Amino acid sequence: MEKEMLKTIADNRKVRHEYFILESIEAGIELTGTEVKSIRSGGLNLKDSWISIENGEAYIKQMHISPYEKGNIFNRDPLRERRLLMHKREIMRLFGMVKQQGLTLIPVSVYFKGSRVKVQVGLCKGKKLYDKRDDAAKRDADRTIERTLKERNKF
């Protein structure tokens, strides 16, 4: 079996800082031709984007795809809501978790899998301020340990 080539287009790094990612799901996304061409040229921004479930369908909102330069009349609104392509069972399970447990659906990254555009959807729980401080302290401690080990290995 041949491995699919994954090429990351955009990564929402703020999500890892603001939320605990409890689960991640891969979903397709419904795009027009000019949007795909714009994504290939790097015109995608995930900042402040989120996912809502309405009438049994998942939509990604506030994801900015820049208009394609040569797209003229075929360009769409850069901030329009785009439908995510997921199984109905998956959508209903996520909907139940969001409603009951107060979790949030946020796009973590967008990437090409072969020639298709995929979105990694994170089922997230918000971090408190002290959680963020703990993460920062742990990161600093790890950096210090790495630095001292590297210095000792020089001699």
Distance of CA 129 to the CA centre of its chain: 22
> Per the structure block, which two tokens stand in for 23?
């689960």
Q: What is the pLDDT of residue 80?
A: 83
Instruction: Measure the CA–CA gap between 150 and 144, rounded to whole angstroms.
Output: 10
Q: What is the pLDDT of residue 28?
A: 92
Q: What is the pLDDT of residue 3?
A: 59
Q: What is the pLDDT of residue 107?
A: 92
pTM of the model: 0.76
Running along the chain, 155 residues long, what does each successive block of 10 average in pLDDT?
A: 72 86 90 84 86 90 84 74 91 88 88 89 86 88 90 77
Query: Percentages helix, strand, coil for the chain, rounded to the nearest 5?
Result: 35, 35, 25
Domain residue extents for the chain: 6-128
Q: What is the pLDDT of residue 141?
A: 92
Distance of CA 97 to the CA centre of its chain: 18
Candidates 51, 38, 58; CA nearest to 12 is 51
CATH superfamily of 6-128: Small protein B (2.40.280.10)
Instruction: Measure the CA–CA gap between 124 and 36, rounded to whole angstroms.
Output: 27
Q: What is the pLDDT of residue 4?
A: 67
